[in-house]
Amino acid sequence: MEVKLAYDGCRNYVLFAFVIFVVMILDGCSRNTITGRSQLSLVPETEVQALAITQYQSFLSSNKVVPATTKDAEMVQRVGHRIAAAIQKYYTEHGQPNALKNYHWEFNLVDSKEINAWCMPGGKVVVYTGILPVTQNETALAIVLGHEITHAVAGHGRERMSQQLLAQGIEVAGNVALSTNTRAVNLFNQVYAPTAQVGVLLPNSRKQEYEADHYGLIFAAMAGYDPREAIPFWKRMEALGGAKPPVFLSDHPADANRIQKLEALMPEALTYYHPISGK
């Protein structure tokens, strides 16, 4: 009898825990404005943006930022602001004009041989000089920034972080600043590029990569850049793979069908394309 009672108690506890688990997942899901996909979102956007500001400033202070008056830095600024304006237009046209109201865009070029670029929550963007020989032109840079900024505005990092929080059983109370939770901060550092020295950078999923390719092409096209430049750019990037691929590729899982998928997306992207006058 005692054994049966113990078994029943254990079963009830497991059932209760399972119900709580399901409730947490359902309660933590939200529908993304851009993609329409339901995402796990256990971390408030305001909290990750607050952490991003701190980490971004720390990164810039400890790295060599290329002066904004140089030709390449001006190009990064120009492309970045055009992409940001295109995204704002896209949101406005889809009935969400205030979706990015807390974004305060910053675009910096950092002197580094590393082939990389990234965007943190809140619109904090860095391009490394090492990626410019691969982009080769302004349009290809727009493809890169469209892709990277999509990861941010589509909440991909926050989604990955939420998945890991759930998997590791880390609780983040809604009324407690994320920065006070050491384990959560460490996880943030694993997800976002500037602080990837802590642990191993968590890669984007193939679903997230597809979304970044898809909407990144649209945003680049809306900004006046020919989305067809994505094909030669990714061919150049993938040609750099090998025993030690660039960080940019390690954070973006290789997909043998990427070029094929990009070509399939091109007709839609081209409907948004209007060349920059005078460019």
Among 47, 106, 148, 229, the active-site one is 148
Q: Compute how many other C-beta atoms are within 10 angstroms of the C-beta atom of residue 84.
A: 22
Contacts of 144 (CB under 8 A, 6+ apart): 117, 127, 131, 135, 233
Burial 160-192 (b: 16+ CB within 10 A, else e): bbbbbbbeeebebeeeeebeebeebbebbbbbb
Residue 114 is a catalytic residue: no
Question: How far is 243 from 7, CA to CA, in rounded Å?
Answer: 53
- What are the catalytic residues? 148
